[in-house]
Amino acid sequence: QVQLVESGGGLVQAGGSLRLSCAASGSIFSINAMGWYRQAPGKQRELVAASTSGGSTNYADSVKGRFTISRDNAKNMVYLQMNSLKPEDPAVYYCNAEVVSTARATFDYWGQGTQVTVSS
* Amino acid at position 51, single letter: S
pLDDT per residue rounded down to tens, the chain (120 residues):
899 999 999 999 999 999 999 999 999 999 999 999 999 999 999 999 999 988 899 999 999 999 999 999 999 999 999 999 999 999 999 999 999 999 999 999 999 999 999 998
8 A C-beta contact, residue 28 and residue 76: yes
